[in-house]
Structures are given as C-alpha cells and as structure tokens.
Amino acid sequence: MLPMDTIQYLLPQNRIPLAWYNILPDLPKPLAPTLHPGTLQPIGPDDLAPLFPMSLIMQEVSTERDIEIPGEVRQIYAQWRPSPLVRARRLEKALDTPAHIYYKYEGVSPAGSHKLNTAVAQAYYNKKDGTKHLSTETGAGQWGSSLAMACAFFGLDCKVYMVRVSYDQKPYRRALMEAFGASVTASPSNQTESGRAILAEHPNSTGSLGIAISEAVEMAAKDPNTKYALGSVLNHVLLHQTVIGLETIEQMAMAGDEPDVIIACAGGGSNFAGLTMPYLGRKLKGQSHARLVAVEPAACPSLTKGRFTYDFGDTGHLTPLVKMHTLGSTFIPPGIHAGGLRYHGMAPLVSHVMDLGLAEATTVQQLDAFAAGIQFARSEGIMPAPEANHAIAHAIREALDAKEEGKHRTILFNLSGHGHFDMQSYIDYQAGKLQNYDYPAEEIAMALAGLPTVA
C-alpha cells in the first residue's frame, strides 16, 4: 500500500468546473478600452464581427463573473480534465530544499498543452454561430495543432500560418496539424499582402507571431465565411484557461497546502492567467497571499522591458489597438526555441494586472531554461515544452532561495505542455549549439519608436 502521502492530486471528472471565471468584475479598475486603428475611438462588438463569431465577442467584453462552460465542451474536456496536480517530491529532494513544489500538468491534453482548453471552446462557438473556415497563426505549433484537432471535432476547415523558424525546426508539429486535416503555410508567405510586404523587405525572414497573425487576420477579413482564432492574448482566451486555476484551487485543498508563490511562463499570457486569475480573485478577497510571477524569455521581455501603451497586436497593423506591455509590433524576436514565447506584446488583462501591482514578472535566459528542463525531466520523468522550462527555471530559483533562507515556501507552477515535439531543441541544447541572446536593445528601441500615437 502506498502511504496517503500522495504525489498526484486527482479530481474526479464530475469536478470539471461548470463555469469559467471572469476576473473583470472583481478588478479594482477596469481594462482600458480597445481602440479602432483608424478612428482611435473605442470599438464596439460590431467592429469585431468580421473576425470573430458574436458569442466569442460577447465573452470578450463580458463583465459576468461566472460564464457557463457548455456541456459539449465539458464533455470533450473530460478526455483529459481535470488535469493532475503533482507534488514534485523527487525534484524537491534533488534540490535539497525545504520548499514544497507542485505543478499543474497541462501536457496531458491530447494536443500536448493547455492550448486545447480554448481551442475546443473557440471551435464550439464558431460552429454554433455558423462559421465554416477558421484561420489562425501558430508559433511552436502547439496552438495550431490544438485548433486543428478542435476543428476536426466540430467539422470546421482550418488554415494555419506557421512562423517560418518553427516550420523549419518542428516538422512533426506540422505533420500533426496536417493529420488533423489542417492546411499549413510557412509565414511570411506570398499568399497575403502582409506576407508579401515582409518578404519584399526581408526575403529570408524567419517570421514572428506578429507577422503570422497579420496573415491569418487578413485571410479572415477578406472572406465572410472565414473567421479568425487567436491562441492567447484576448480576454475570452484567458477566460477559457481559468479552468486550470479553478481545478488547482480544489487540488491544493486536497493536498492541504496553500501556495506562497504561483509561477507560469508568459508568451501572450494565457497559461499564466489561466492558473493565476482564479487565485487573484481569492487574493482580492483576502483568501490568498500568493505572489503571482510571470516568467518570460530574456530575448523577448515584453513585461519586464516593454512599454505599457497602445499598440497593434500584429506586425501588419490590421488588428485593433490594445493597451498592453509591448516591445513594438515590428519587433522580430531572436529565434529562441520557445516559439510560443516569441510575441512582441502581452495580454491586456495580464498587462493591466501587472500595472496595478497585483502580479510580478521576471526573465530567464535560454540556456538556463533548458538546464532547468533537463533537471526537471531527470527528477520527474516528464520532458517539458521549451516554454514551460521558463516556469521551471524560476520555480527552481524560488526553491533554492527558500533553502538559502532556511524557510518553508510552497511553490506552484504551471507545466503548460510536454516537449515531445521539441526534441530537436533538446538535441541542439545537449550538443552545445544553443546560445543565450542578450536583450536586443537596439531593435526594440527601433520598434518602440514606431508605436502608434494615441492621445
């Protein structure tokens, strides 16, 4: 018999939350409005109608606290949810730390990451509202494969613009998307005006999420039967991810522990918000004291080095203006292997929460992230996605700080995905072929100089 001193905290399927948690009504200050790129006036739901189905637009602007998860979506969630919360006891031992380390493991989704939580919901609402085709972008391919899978479930057509550097680095992700029936194009491509404009200037462009978003948005804007789906950044995407934190709160109670610090990597901010917003809701009610830490790559530090201001969500300037931490929409981040963290901006909600001082941010260098991922794999047996390595690296720092101070600390982090499709990056790391990137100050200064002016 195993002792009751459990390692995994599992919830039964009937504990999948009934509603997502929308933090907007609980925040001390509302979000800044989204602006029309032409008039600079706040946009209304109709302005977004060419890109998104109305039910998702209404979620985007909703101030309702609890938003019901449709039965059909919960049914699909039940294939891998509730996801496990795991106590990383062997890692604790390896670090010889008095800290408790827990991780919420989102790699158990059939797509391999948290992205499927919102992909299923977005495909569901698009289908319900009559969409036939979805267009999207993908960095590392995690989002593209999640959406491709969800589109296959709901009988939608899926077109994916995949950032060139990942398209070349991660052929198996592409193959997975194609297996689910999606069509995949390397971005920048010559299929769109935005792509052609970039290629004219930089024929060997390795692409960026900002460019791929422009291409996918352009395709949707041109065709009334095509809508656009985004894998992060927007309120409704972050909302769908709160299923992660809601489950974790119950699981931490099962473990009889309360987190002192909660950590997640941040690209567009969705897995960070998904884990932390339900905790922030409790914090605002005095029921949690946890510090919330977003971890970003040193090569693409929007929260720690970006400006909190209005900017475009894409490089081609087709999207509305949102107030966020940004490095400038024309900034093309170095080709780090954590493709999902190569975005110039940050979710407006996450940016706002940082601005209010309710969360903090830090950075990790590429080599430190991989070293942490390898250490984690050797202790816990899971190969993490390169993005998640950033969260692990900071969790280890917190555990070592606790050891140095000789104090207890309960650390919780989001293991946002597995790295089974990212083994080439581990091969390159082990062969000493990866490098750190200094903060690209000059390029960022240039990109920031091009920010739109909003009075």
Ligand X SMILES: *Cc1c(COP(=O)(O)O)cnc(C)c1O
Strand 183-187 relative to strand 85-87: parallel, antiparallel, unpaired? unpaired
State how far the Cα of 71 lies from the Cα of 255, in Å rounded to an integer: 28
- Smaller CB distance to ligand X: residue 127 or 245? 245
| Residue choice 265, 321, 353, 448 for contact with ligand X (CB under 6 A) | 265
- Smaller CB distance to ligand X: residue 95 or 388? 388
Q: Is 268 in the site for ligand X (CB under 6 A)?
A: yes
State how far the Cα of 213 lies from the Cα of 203, in Å rounded to an integer: 18
Q: Is 266 in the site for ligand X (CB under 6 A)?
A: yes
Specify which residues 347 forms β-bridges with.
none
| Residue choice 388, 392, 444, 448 for contact with ligand X (CB under 6 A) | 388
Closest CA to 118 of 139, 143, 137: 143
CB 362, min distance to ligand X, A: 14
Q: Give the binding range for ligand X (CB under 6 A) out of 15-23, 218-226, 276-284, 381-389.
A: 381-389
Q: Is 271 in the site for ligand X (CB under 6 A)?
A: yes
Give the count of residues interacting with ligand X (CB under 6 A): 21
Q: Is 269 in the site for ligand X (CB under 6 A)?
A: yes
Q: Is 366 in the site for ligand X (CB under 6 A)?
A: no
Q: Is 115 in the site for ligand X (CB under 6 A)?
A: yes
Q: Is 142 in the site for ligand X (CB under 6 A)?
A: yes
- Smaller CB distance to ligand X: residue 217 or 265? 265
| Residue choice 137, 215, 311, 387 for contact with ligand X (CB under 6 A) | 387
State how far the Cα of 402 lies from the Cα of 174, in Å rounded to an integer: 42
Residue labelled with tokens 């300037």 = 317
Locate all alpha helices (DSSP H) within 180-328, ordered by sequence: 193-201, 209-222, 235-255, 270-284, 302-305
CB 112, min distance to ligand X, A: 7
Scored b (16 or more CB within 10 A) or e, 193-220 reads: ebbeebbeeeeebbbbbbbbbbbbbbbb
DSSP H or E run through 411:
strand 410-415
CB 211, min distance to ligand X, A: 17
Q: Is 259 in the site for ligand X (CB under 6 A)?
A: no
Residue labelled with tokens 């057509």 = 157
DSSP 301: -
| Residue choice 299, 385, 402, 434 for contact with ligand X (CB under 6 A) | 385
| Residue choice 84, 259, 267, 440 for contact with ligand X (CB under 6 A) | 267
| Residue choice 113, 117, 206, 309 for contact with ligand X (CB under 6 A) | 113
CB 421, min distance to ligand X, A: 10
CB 233, min distance to ligand X, A: 7
Closest CA to 180 of 221, 150, 224: 150
- Smaller CB distance to ligand X: residue 127 or 141? 141
175, exposed or middle or buried, with CB in 10 Å at 0-12, 13-18, 19+? middle
Sites for ligand X among residues 389-428 (CB under 6 A): 416-417
Tokens of residue 448, six digits: 């920031």
Tokens of residue 203, six digits: 């024929």
Sheet strands side by side (includes 360-364): 8-9, 85-87, 100-105, 410-415, 261-265, 291-297, 360-364
State how far the Cα of 427 lies from the Cα of 337, in Å rounded to an integer: 12
- Smaller CB distance to ligand X: residue 255 or 262? 262
CB 419, min distance to ligand X, A: 8
Maximum Cα–Cα distance across the chain: 68
Q: Give the binding range for ligand X (CB under 6 A) out of 117-125, 136-144, 213-221, 315-323.
A: 136-144
State how far the Cα of 449 lies from the Cα of 161, in Å rounded to an integer: 27
Specify which residues 105 forms β-bridges with.
415
Tokens of residue 239, six digits: 């909302």
Do the Cβ atoms of 369 and 389 come closer than 8 Å? Answer: yes
Residue 208-247 contact track with ligand X, rule CB under 6 A, x = bound: ------------------------x---------------
- Smaller CB distance to ligand X: residue 34 or 414? 414
Q: Is 160 in the site for ligand X (CB under 6 A)?
A: no
- Smaller CB distance to ligand X: residue 106 or 218? 106
Q: Is 363 in the site for ligand X (CB under 6 A)?
A: no
CB 148, min distance to ligand X, A: 14
| Contact residues for ligand X, defined by CB under 6 A | 113, 115, 140, 142-143, 232, 265-272, 340-341, 385, 387-388, 416-417
